[in-house]
Chain A
């Protein structure tokens, strides 16, 4: 530990190195806007550097705790107001504390997955966009059926089709019978009547079959229950409730370079861990921003990095970061004490006492801040 610290630069701009590019650019922009004599300019640059150096974190400063506090304190201010109409789209999204929990617990199935589908330039006409939207929306049989009847004598479920609706969806009744994939049944169409016969002549299954028929998938992408086309920043976009990036990317006309989902796990699955990390940052920032809470992005970045370092998305909490810490004592102090102690005993684990929490537990100086160094004095002339 001491080796790495001793050789690491204590201040970022060392040996005449300049300030970070972003700040350098800001200084240049400012000077361009309000020029000043060279003497003043040098003074100004000196001052900027001074402030920058003051703002830098000191070595061994516990950024983790500061991050936790900086994120948690505003989170306590979050109102219990859960739902809100996000944006112009009019799609309800989970927000506030429940959404924060979803993100940090890395839930695989968020309550309201949504997508924002961008459309390529060549397809930017309302007709095109609408057609794409129609291909996205999940159409179930119940959307094209006007009435259902259970025929006990012939043992079948008889449905009356809404032909104009079918036509508008560009599905002809013949194709519909092939689109409906219902197990152990035969589907036939006569005029506007759709007949579903169970292969075994058993009237007891009919009632259940009725609902299976109504809920069966016809067209579009499964589980995308709402599609709203709107114009945002001068271009047509499609907002959806329900998310399936993979299928949407396959559609013609979809700009897959910008289309995004708020389902973090899905983003990670489809686009990889970097995109997943980006999604965590974006979603957290959005949730905080929506509640009017301001925090520095770097805290979110640190948190997202912690969740993603190992290449997958790890939740914070019992089964994630807190539950996988190296020290068995720290794990035991968090939750499920008995479980962790027994497990550690069975494995014969050794706690090296290098972290903060375990050292506080035994009332030793924690290796953080002022406690990170041990001074060994060497008196000249003595060994």
Chain B
């Protein structure tokens, strides 16, 4: 055992301490007095006899109130100062009332959750219990009633929600963003969501926990079609396209205009019919896949002396077009200049998105689901008071995931809606669940949140009572319109002659290795061959030397360039195999293809 502890400063050994705990305490004391940077953190690991002091960038740190001798340093006197507006955050930090700890220094700290829980060993106290959670997780109501992993999923999904991205989004030209049409502040709030009330991420909707002909199995949800028509979860998708009118070396420059026929890559008269005389599309025009937004022609890159002669042939079409699979209205057109004095054109496209089958929704408790059915209001179940749910959520999603917080949110929001006020559900600090139930009872409802529902199609009451309330729902940035894809024929890649990959390139759906094995497993040899015919090719093979022969289409003659006089046999293979043969040849290996007639 070392008798002295090593001291490391940003990972470098700088000395040793005989009494490391005293040494670290001293460092911290000086930091609190303002003699050392507040960004410095020190930790002592008794098991390694090491003191580590860090000042480097990239450490995640969080603020805590300092506790000394079982007393919070945020005394009544300081509080009074804060209330009077005489002390702000930097005052608290500068005066050693609040300090930031990094992950390492937290190892030496004992943090009390609340002031009344401070014992004699505590070194810090949380500013508020909710500060345990980050921004996204802080938005989740009743988090302590959910299983931990659900909080993680929930926080992740809050990040994918469509809401109000910024206060000035109509003036911005981000490449791509979504905005909710009718955002609402959640009825069940947290301290974090109150701070973010100008940027809500969803809507309060009436939820019923039940089934409807099985259309919400496997986490699907059923939406009320009439609610959608009234604007539920309607959102806008914005995308900005941009182009530069560049100037090139030699005095040439791009031209913004409607391209003339004869230019390389001309798309045909029809493609430019929406463009105005200045070559730029008009606002509020409807555009779809491959529509031209800005007509542009550029000079060819490499000019030879002869090419200089004719003017029009030296231009190519470089118009800006809508991405494949997207559509919308031309929202705004921005024309400005770059610092290089090139003209800059930005065209923002807006697409209104109504929820449809396959769009993804989630509550704030890590409960996500895809729309499985849209039901007309008259066919939806309704309560005795005539309330029709906006969403029907499958009860099977609850027991295995144990998101009790969601059930609480539903009845809490119900009381909130009836009282006309929001309900606070911040972590560890809110109305007790019994009290919510008592309140619900006082408001004239069953305290378990269940109500008798009537089937909209038959008018008959359901034999079970159904859990009905209000829940805050988010529309997530995973919409079918962005993902739906099918192909019967389309482009192929140059190298392998196999279909392209991915929706943006109109690609095919790959029959992969496992799918191939599946067909083999079923003994479906001919189906398998047919599937792999996408790059079917015929190659002439010389029967003498076994090399691929040459086929001269113009003279309609096939010959072996090695043997000259020999018989040629046409063989059907995949183009990929022909490519493999070529690659083997490039290794200096001679692949002799021996063919025989069947």
Contact of B573 (CB < 8 Å), options: A66, A342, A363, A374: A363
Cα-based distance from A341 to B516 in the complex (angstroms) = 24
Q: Is B245 an interface residue (CB 8 A)?
A: no
| In the complex, chain A residues whose CB is within 8 Å of the CB of B573 | 362-364
The reply to whether B520 and A362 contact each other, CB–CB distance below 8 Å, is no
Contact assessment for B577 and A363 in the assembled complex, using a CB-CB cutoff below 8 Å? yes
A371 contacts chain B at the CB level, 8 A cutoff = yes
The answer on a CB contact under 8 Å between A365 and B517 is no
Within 8 A of B (CB), among A60-97: 60-62, 65-66, 68-69
**Please, which residue of chain A has its CB at the minimum distance from the CB of B587?**
A341
Q: Are A68 and B529 in contact (CB under 8 A)?
A: no
Q: Is the CB of A68 within 8 A of B523?
A: no
Task: Tell me, rounded to whole Å, the shortest Cβ–Cβ distance linking B43 to chain A.
Answer: 31
- Chain B residue, CB-CB nearest to A338: B587
A370 within 8 A of B: yes
Q: Which residues of A, 32-62, contact B by the 8 Å Cβ criterion?
A: 58, 60-62
Which residues of A have CB within 8 Å of B533? Answer: 363
Q: A368-B523, A370-B523 are in contact. Are A362 and B577 (CB under 8 A)?
A: yes
Query: Which residues of chain B come closer than 8 Å to A342, judged between CB atoms?
Result: 587, 589
Give A370 to B590 CA distance when docked, in angstroms: 33
Q: Contact check: which of A341, A350, A364, A366 meets B520 at CB < 8 Å?
A: A366
Q: A364 is contacted by which of B516, B523, B529 (Cβ under 8 Å)?
A: B529
CA distance A365 to B573 in the complex (A): 10
Chain B min CB distance to A366 (Å): 5
Report chain B residues within 8 Å CB of A364. 529, 572-573
Tell me which of B525, B532, B590 contacts A371 (CB under 8 A).
B525
Which 7 pairs between the two chains have the least Cβ-Cβ distance? A369-B523, A371-B525, A363-B574, A345-B589, A362-B577, A65-B521, A362-B573
Task: Name 13 extra pairs, CB < 8 A, besides A363-B536, A364-B572, A367-B525.
Answer: A62-B521, A338-B587, A350-B594, A361-B574, A361-B580, A363-B574, A363-B577, A366-B529, A368-B523, A369-B523, A371-B526, A371-B528, A372-B525
- Is A360 interfacial (CB 8 A cutoff)? yes
With A341-B584, A360-B528, A361-B577: A368-B536 Cβ-Cβ less than 8 Å = no
Tell me how many residue pairs across A and B have CB atoms closer than 8 Å.
74
Please tell me if B385 contacts chain A, counting CB pairs below 8 Å: no
Chain A residues 165-206 with CB under 8 Å of chain B are none
Check if B524 is an interface residue, CB within 8 A of chain A: yes
A322: B residues at CB distance < 8 A:
none
User: With A363-B533, A363-B536 known to touch, is A69 a contact of B522 (CB < 8 Å)?
Assistant: no
What's the tally of chain B residues with a CB closer than 8 Å to chain A? 28
Residue A363 contacts which of B523, B572, B598 (CB distance < 8 angstroms)?
A: B572
A316 to chain B, nearest CB (A): 16
Contacts of B525 in A (CB 8 A): 365-372
Residues of A within 8 A of B576 (CB): 361
Residues of chain B within 8 A of A363, CB atoms compared: 529, 532-533, 535-536, 572-574, 577
Complex-state Cα separation, A62 to B574, whole angstroms: 23
A161 vs B565: C-alpha distance when bound (angstroms): 93
Per-residue CB proximity of B491-535 to A under 8 Å, as 1/0?
Answer: 000000000000000000000000011101111111011001101
Asked whether A62 and B532 contact (CB < 8 A) given A345-B589, A363-B577, A364-B573, the answer is no
Q: Cβ of A216 < 8 Å from any Cβ of B?
A: no
* CB-contacts of B566-595 with A (<8 A): 572-574, 576-577, 580, 584, 587, 589-590, 594
Give min CB distance, B524 to chain A, whole Å. 6
Q: Which of A58, A365, A367: most chain B CB closer than 10 A?
A: A365
Query: Whole-angstrom distance between the alpha carbons of A372 and B517 in the complex?
Result: 16
Residue of B nearest to A66 (CB): B521
Give, as a whole number of angstroms, the nearest-CB distance from A254 to chain B: 46
User: Shortest distance in angstroms between A73's beta carbon and chain B's nearest beta carbon?
Assistant: 10
Decide: A360 near B532, CB < 8 A? Known: A342-B589, A371-B526.
yes
A373: nearest chain-B partner, CB-CB: B525
* Contact A360 B516, CB 8 Å, known A62-B521, A66-B521, A338-B587: yes
User: Is A356 interfacial (CB 8 A cutoff)?
Assistant: yes
Option from B520, B526, B529, B536 in Cβ contact (under 8 Å) with A62: B520
CB contacts (< 8 Å) of B526 on chain A: these are: 365, 370-371
In the complex, what's the smallest C-beta–C-beta distance from A227 to chain B, in angstroms?
35
Q: List 6 A-B contacts (CB under 8 A).
A: A338-B587, A362-B574, A363-B573, A364-B572, A365-B526, A366-B528
Distance, CA A366 to CA B532, complexed state (A):
12
CB contacts (< 8 Å) of A350 on chain B: these are 594
Contact of B520 with A369 in the complex, beta carbons under 8 Å: yes
List chain A residues, Cβ under 8 A from B521. Answer: 62, 65-66, 69
**Using Cβ atoms and an 8 Å threshold, which residues of chain B touch A372?**
525
Given A338-B587, A369-B522, A369-B524, does the pair A65, B529 have CB atoms closer than 8 Å? no
> Is the CB–CB distance between A341 and B589 below 8 Å?
yes
User: In the complex, A364 Cα to B536 Cα: how many Å?
Assistant: 10
